[in-house]
A and B are shown apart, each in its own frame.
Chain A
């Protein structure tokens, strides 16, 4: 490196790649993230894209973003705000101005600042930076479009195809700035474009052009060093929450010695689970793309009835459609895992945005006394673990389990320490063995789970259904029997508390404020708790993965703090549940329903305010 190069060492950086939804920003972000993980940084990513496939070009509504946060320290969120914005057009700057750290660096395509594009982005002057009050920011005007054209001048490609590689110029430049080796990115490009040598070569050429541009302009371009993080030893891969969920289910089936059947219908942001499982015919996964959400869960129930691990995946509106069938599985007492990747509601709501507003639907969205085990994953990579556990509980307790994730977890990625199957917990499905003793609804005292006998098992022929029944499975309208059975089903779900761990407190074990969160907000909650602790505040964090039943020590933990604040991405659903299930405490609330994850800063502010009250 020449002496002009300014190398600045940083602990952590958040970069936001942003452009038109057709500009390839998701790919750019993913490639950069994979290279970054391989370099040894801890990392967290989050895509932010519009629900339209191609919203009008150049408009703010059509901007697609991808944020990646990496560092030498533990990275638990994609970052509140970006230190670097890569903007492919004026609209991207407008859409992202509010997601920037003060004094952030803005790298933008200077060629895109045409009168037409400024107008499309609804700027009133030809100086967007002044308009957006971004004058103090470090701006790098890079002629990305013309440099890309220049790089491919001999390629004999048409203009449109050439412009498709613009994102690679930006990626090359950012790779230089952050010292990422291009080889890793090239390997990934080979996987993606290997079929067309021409497309592959043009992408690689432009990638190098971007990298070289950074090098030759180094007197104006700072270079940063983000040293590798101190990460637990082992083999890692990058994984999204949806993939982790899908793989956790496959792992559970393998561990249980069962075949996995997924009945599902495409719905944002859960579709990737259906895709991920459809890829795994090699592991015997039977994926059934059904005609609708109802058939998705019904085929899964049919498969469970036939002796498979039946699973269905969906998002909020789909869950509403599945309610009646989930209730059948509750009544028939069959294993079933329902994965709900929550999104902004109600109704169609904000399909591509994240929210935690299906908690009440999961708890109570069925007719009758219909208890269901509810588990929530809290990071993209722990979706694996919780999907596995959801299946384990369902198979061992013979009851449906709902796994709640959300768009933020499902689409976000994180390094995942690859487990070894031999180390995973055992799963023992309750498959009946002795036909002479078999009764469809005879239970073990320990878990109150019934035995599972399915078609094909000789001597076990029996009938089950959605009508109330007695122990043998015979339809019964006896009033006392109905009450007895309703209470039994409730007790069976309550007994799952014996299978789950106690809630652990992060930070102070007792003190002034207990922060309470659940599910996908973990990264932001733990970061906020860590920072508050550093500031000397007496706060702790109880972050829940088990929603129904709650861990047994919940009340005990709550009693050690003067105040409790429940933070969630809805208008107070978990707080309401706690008021019902763990009474005797005052639950303060911090709620956000903007389709966006929490900012660490806003959590801290709400806790600080409560501390001062």
Chain B
């Protein structure tokens, strides 16, 4: 399909990677580099933009164009990059603090505008680079350096913020699950629009094990459901559990128990414009329900960058003004002789 043949190695810069050993960021970066190699697009067309935070060092480690910007503003700067040149493949690397606290406004407006950018949101529920303060995704009551007696506020659910901002693409993955991350990131890359991929990431120093109940241990398959468009919503160690809709509410059931059969199990439709089920899937939490992973929502609509380019082309075609000389001489002018 493409004239560009790369391996993941081609996307690694010579800069020494300085994330802590065991940090989840390493695995996500490997997944990104493999996806980029697989896409077969011109390496020079990639622009990786980040804000501030541990994960935001990401661009320095990529052998692509990269811009490590300022705290919270990655979404706005990436918006400028993509709007200026829609041919580019723009990836934004951000974290729970960068995207959802200081950069919350830019993040929701990026999603609302639906600019074709791939956003990887590393969610470790903590401020790592400043050494352990609570973030907007930290669970209520969590004890951190700035909440020694526990936080007294509820966290954001990233996916809900995306839906509330009229998001067209939301997916969730786990840092340690390279295969899943790769599959999801590839879909995100191919999707036209703002693709937000939340990665549950483990900070080995300040919030180690924060996602462990979901991501680790025996029978973890019973606590995760990997949703795929057009496929039944089944999960579990034995793939015998599934999701059904009863009285408008999602319910986790076991096939063959209480009279539930495979026919009762819902089929995932990521392309449904209706927010209802996507919202319910995003909100599922353990232990009553499994945590939803995979591409939960992917609804094709017009992107901002495309619309902006199309509008310019349309006006250019009809306008008599072709350059500055035309502009300056248009309308009311007079000659002094």
Considering only CB atoms, which chain A residue lies closest to B56 in the complex? A465
- Cβ of A349 within 8 Å of any chain B Cβ, yes or no, is no
Select one of A250, A295, A474 contacting B79, CB under 8 A.
A295
Taken residue by residue from 221 to 237, chain A's Cβ proximity to chain B (1 for < 8 Å, 0 otherwise) reads as: 00000000001111111
Which A residues touch B80, using CB under 8 A? 261, 263, 288, 298-306, 310
Provide the bound-state CA to CA distance between A459 and B64, in Å: 10
- Cβ of A38 within 8 Å of any chain B Cβ, yes or no, is yes
Q: Is the CB of A455 within 8 A of B327?
A: no
Considering only CB atoms, which chain B residue lies closest to A280 in the complex? B327
Provide the bound-state CA to CA distance between A291 and B107, in Å: 10
Stretch at the interface among B156-164, B269-277, B311-319: B311-319
Which B residues touch A304, using CB under 8 A? 80
Select one of B42, B65, B83 contacting A303, CB under 8 A.
B83
Q: Which of A297-321 contact B (CB under 8 A)?
A: 298-308, 310
Q: Is the CB of A305 within 8 A of B67?
A: yes
Q: Is the CB of A467 within 8 A of B73?
A: no
Considering only CB atoms, which chain A residue lies closest to B77 in the complex? A302
Which B residues touch A291, using CB under 8 A? 76, 105-106, 109
- Shortest C-beta distance, B244 to chain A (Å), equals 40
Q: Which of B251-300 contact A (CB under 8 A)?
A: none
Select one of B44, B315, B329 contacting A457, CB under 8 A.
B44
Q: Is the CB of B69 within 8 A of A328?
A: yes
Taken residue by residue from 277 to 298, chain A's Cβ proximity to chain B (1 for < 8 Å, 0 otherwise) reads as: 0001111101010111011001
- Cβ of A583 within 8 Å of any chain B Cβ, yes or no, is no
Select one of A37, A236, A298, A474 contacting B77, CB under 8 A.
A298
Q: Is the CB of B324 within 8 A of A247?
A: yes
- Cβ of A463 within 8 Å of any chain B Cβ, yes or no, is yes
Considering only CB atoms, which chain B residue lies closest to A424 in the complex? B324
- Shortest C-beta distance, A393 to chain B (Å), equals 19
- Cβ of A40 within 8 Å of any chain B Cβ, yes or no, is yes
- Shortest C-beta distance, A186 to chain B (Å), equals 13
Q: Is the CB of B327 within 8 A of A306?
A: no
Q: Is the CB of B316 within 8 A of A281?
A: yes
- Shortest C-beta distance, B90 to chain A (Å), equals 8
Q: Which of A301-357 contact B (CB under 8 A)?
A: 301-308, 310, 324-325, 328, 332
- Cβ of B247 within 8 Å of any chain A Cβ, yes or no, is no
Provide the bound-state CA to CA distance between A43 and B325, in Å: 24
Select one of B88, B312, B319, B324 contacting A421, CB under 8 A.
B324
- Shortest C-beta distance, B253 to chain A (Å), equals 43
Provide the bound-state CA to CA distance between A460 and B63, in Å: 10
Taken residue by residue from 453 to 494, chain A's Cβ proximity to chain B (1 for < 8 Å, 0 otherwise) reads as: 011111111111111000000110000000000000000000
Provide the bound-state CA to CA distance between A250 and B330, in Å: 15
Provide the bound-state CA to CA distance between A238 and B109, in Å: 38
Provide the bound-state CA to CA distance between A421 and B325, in Å: 6
- Cβ of B336 within 8 Å of any chain A Cβ, yes or no, is yes
Provide the bound-state CA to CA distance between A295 and B325, in Å: 32
- Cβ of B334 within 8 Å of any chain A Cβ, yes or no, is yes
Considering only CB atoms, which chain A residue lies closest to B52 in the complex? A466
Which A residues touch B59, using CB under 8 A? 463, 465
Q: Which of A229-278 contact B (CB under 8 A)?
A: 231-238, 247, 250-251, 254, 259, 261, 263
Q: Is the CB of A455 within 8 A of B88?
A: yes
Q: Is the CB of B70 within 8 A of A325?
A: yes
Q: Is the CB of B329 within 8 A of A418?
A: yes
Q: Is the CB of B324 within 8 A of A254?
A: yes
Select one of B44, B85, B87, B311 contacting A459, CB under 8 A.
B44
- Shortest C-beta distance, A425 to chain B (Å), equals 14
Q: Is the CB of B83 within 8 A of A288?
A: yes
Q: Is the CB of A455 within 8 A of B45?
A: yes
- Shortest C-beta distance, B5 to chain A (Å), equals 15
- Shortest C-beta distance, A17 to chain B (Å), equals 19
- Cβ of B250 within 8 Å of any chain A Cβ, yes or no, is no
Which A residues touch B85, using CB under 8 A? 306-308, 455-456
Q: Is the CB of B106 within 8 A of A455?
A: no
Which B residues touch A281, using CB under 8 A? 311-312, 315-316, 319
Q: Is the CB of B60 within 8 A of A458?
A: no
Which B residues touch A37, using CB under 8 A? 334
- Cβ of A188 within 8 Å of any chain B Cβ, yes or no, is yes
Provide the bound-state CA to CA distance between A251 and B332, in Å: 19
- Cβ of B15 within 8 Å of any chain A Cβ, yes or no, is yes
- Cβ of A420 within 8 Å of any chain B Cβ, yes or no, is yes
Q: Is the CB of B79 within 8 A of A302?
A: yes
- Shortest C-beta distance, B317 to chain A (Å), equals 9
- Cβ of B301 within 8 Å of any chain A Cβ, yes or no, is no
Provide the bound-state CA to CA distance between A474 and B59, in Å: 12
Provide the bound-state CA to CA distance between A294 and B106, in Å: 9
Select one of B87, B332, B335 contacting A456, CB under 8 A.
B87
- Cβ of B78 within 8 Å of any chain A Cβ, yes or no, is yes
- Cβ of A419 within 8 Å of any chain B Cβ, yes or no, is yes
Provide the bound-state CA to CA distance between A282 and B321, in Å: 7
- Shortest C-beta distance, B97 to chain A (Å), equals 16
- Cβ of B47 within 8 Å of any chain A Cβ, yes or no, is yes
- Cβ of A34 within 8 Å of any chain B Cβ, yes or no, is yes
Considering only CB atoms, which chain B residue lies closest to A292 in the complex? B105
Q: Is the CB of A299 within 8 A of B69?
A: no
Considering only CB atoms, which chain B residue lies closest to A296 in the complex? B76
- Shortest C-beta distance, A113 to chain B (Å), equals 36
- Shortest C-beta distance, B337 to chain A (Å), equals 6
Provide the bound-state CA to CA distance between A310 and B83, in Å: 12
Which A residues touch B66, using CB under 8 A? 462-465
A-B contact pairs, 8 of them (CB 8 A): A234-B336, A281-B315, A305-B80, A324-B70, A419-B328, A455-B88, A461-B63, A466-B69
A-B contact sample (13 more), CB < 8 A, given A233-B336, A308-B85, A324-B73 = A236-B333, A237-B332, A280-B321, A290-B76, A294-B106, A298-B69, A299-B77, A301-B69, A302-B80, A306-B85, A455-B44, A460-B65, A466-B70
Instruction: Return the 7 tightest CB-CB contacts between A and B, nearest first.
Output: A302-B80, A465-B68, A282-B319, A299-B80, A298-B76, A303-B84, A281-B315
